[in-house]
Chain A
């Protein structure tokens, strides 16, 4: 099937006075994919979405949909449809007329546009709500209506601004599954803005991580989670312990680096910044904590472990979250399986060793 809805951003920038909200962003999103823009609030992701929708004009750069520039085109003529964070349902129209709104603007006769709107309502499984007013339905239902209203325009690209943020935890998980399913059924491009890492990783084909108006990584969810490009991504996406240090010894096999607390660790070969700083990450669930006295790790390579004291233990049901405080107040976290934790016999306040295998070390880029 011919996929449509390929989106290209070329050197897109947006300045608000002195503030640069989006800084020379280049990005290509293949047609028919589910893309998440991920980043903390204020990173420029919503501004980027609004530029694509035509609600904001870029200060520089070009936006192309299926190879055609949409710059200069007003929001109403673009092949995009936006779903707003507040849903922005028209309070004076019932659900059916909300969905039929764009057809009405195009001058479609009442009977035909209502028929079509009813079809879309059925598609989002809101067929029975046609004559309800927005004030009468729940947040989750309002969201489906907002989605139906966006879909009826037959957009090539659907833009979702924090679509799940107003829902409670239960509906959030349910809805993100449905959004994904609908996107796959319609085979059009969805661009989903979120600040929640789990949401981005669970739903999308492509995760775009942003920081201060700049894209820092574009990858599949697996790559972003498992192989974060920089320490920023590793910290934001979560699931990693990030180690920063200065190179004290370089060998063919790698570099020996010294952390700020004086501890020395071994990092595989990788790029060294001009001031000889290196960083690497170890997934929290690849880290094991043992009692310092027990020494199952005693024979372990000396530079793939750190020593500290157990600060806190949280039981998360499927696993244990063990926080270990190193000296100079640095903290690392190990996620241990039920079995491993029980076997280790550690308790709060114990002096421990946290260790990992060399192949779990992931090199980060320091910009």
Chain B
């Protein structure tokens, strides 16, 4: 009994054990933190700093100025770029959310075998892991003036002359976006929907809800988080789009980012950085606003 160590000693041991666990965790997370700091935090900080710098033909002048931002927000092109991006984002969001929800609903509630549903989801996922540029240009032989689609419509006798608006148009951009970004919407929704207990649906039906009511009052509220996550991904991916608008409009229009990259190409770093700052602010505001909205709603429900 004399070997009984004093109470405080063991408490100290306890504290040490917890502290050691935390230290191990920090050590394990350190590589991630270092990579993200060096290649994400630092570059963005530099971009922000350069946005406030003056410049001339010889290069960047380290001198604080707001000229870049003044020029940016007084220029009509900025608003035109954002208006176009927001239009694309709105339309594509609507299409992908409907498509993503419908497909998830089919996979989760109609395909009874889980493994089959998973395999079908995987089938939709595989293109996401292949080149986005290739998937974009893949629409050219399809939608072109002499493309497959026009060919088909003429053969069927629906039209006499090939449709011109299919390629190098807003239509083409939207088709391509939907093609690229339905998956980031589909997977989070599907994930949320798989977690819904089938019995909850049956209980709702027993309580007299019809299919539409079940979807509106049970399924949608239960996969709200998935829908929000998917929406964030789709909208931010569109805001960050680099080549789709350019390729699919045949160079007629630019996206926010591709316009910025022109400036970078011409070594106009401070104006490009200013444009980047605006984009960063918009993305951060949007994401934090949307996530806050969901949390508030969640706490109201609970």
A–B contact (CB under 8 angstroms): yes
Question: Which B residues from 1 to 31 make CB contacts under 8 A with A?
Answer: 1, 3-5, 7, 10-11, 13-14, 17
Residue in contact with B4 in the complex, picked from A11, A57, A59, CB distance below 8 Å: A11
Note all chain A residues with C-beta closer than 8 A to B14: 57, 59
Q: How far is the CA of A78 from the CA of B10 in the complex (A)?
A: 18
Docked-complex contact B1 and A57, CB < 8 angstroms: no
Q: How far is the CA of A60 from the CA of B1 in the complex (A)?
A: 13
- Residue A179 at the chain B interface, CB threshold 8 Å: no
Q: How far is the CA of A58 from the CA of B5 in the complex (A)?
A: 11
Chain A residue at minimal CB-CB distance from B7: A60
**How far is the CB of A176 from the nearest CB of chain B, in Å?**
33
Residues of chain B at the chain A interface (Cβ within 8 Å):
1, 3-5, 7, 10-11, 13-14, 17
Residue in contact with B11 in the complex, picked from A10, A59, A62, A72, CB distance below 8 Å: A59
| Interface mask (A37-57 → B, CB under 8 Å = 1, otherwise 0) | 000000000000000000001
Report 21 cross-chain contacts, Cβ distance below 8 Å, ordered by A residue.
A10-B1, A10-B4, A11-B4, A57-B13, A57-B14, A57-B17, A58-B10, A59-B7, A59-B10, A59-B14, A60-B7, A60-B10, A60-B11, A61-B4, A61-B10, A62-B3, A62-B5, A69-B3, A71-B5, A71-B10, A72-B13
Interface of A is mostly: strand
Interface of B is mostly: helix
Docked-complex contact B13 and A62, CB < 8 angstroms: no
Chain B residue at minimal CB-CB distance from A69: B3
Chain A residue at minimal CB-CB distance from B11: A59
Note all chain B residues with C-beta closer than 8 A to A10: 1, 4
Chain A residue at minimal CB-CB distance from B17: A57
Chain B residue at minimal CB-CB distance from A8: B1
Q: How far is the CA of A68 from the CA of B173 in the complex (A)?
A: 75
Q: How far is the CA of A10 from the CA of B7 in the complex (A)?
A: 12
Docked-complex contact A57 and B10, CB < 8 angstroms: yes
**How far is the CB of B8 from the nearest CB of chain A, in Å?**
9
Chain B residue at minimal CB-CB distance from A64: B3
| Interface mask (A223-249 → B, CB under 8 Å = 1, otherwise 0) | 000000000000000000000000000
Q: How far is the CA of A11 from the CA of B4 in the complex (A)?
A: 9
**How far is the CB of A262 from the nearest CB of chain B, in Å?**
46
Chain B residue at minimal CB-CB distance from A11: B4
**How far is the CB of A72 from the nearest CB of chain B, in Å?**
8
Note all chain A residues with C-beta closer than 8 A to B11: 59-60
Note all chain B residues with C-beta closer than 8 A to A57: 10, 13-14, 17
Chain B residue at minimal CB-CB distance from A13: B7
Note all chain A residues with C-beta closer than 8 A to B10: 57-61, 71
Q: How far is the CA of A327 from the CA of B229 in the complex (A)?
A: 60
Chain B residue at minimal CB-CB distance from A72: B13
**How far is the CB of A27 from the nearest CB of chain B, in Å?**
14
**How far is the CB of B13 from the nearest CB of chain A, in Å?**
7
Q: How far is the CA of A175 from the CA of B278 in the complex (A)?
A: 69
Note all chain B residues with C-beta closer than 8 A to A60: 7, 10-11
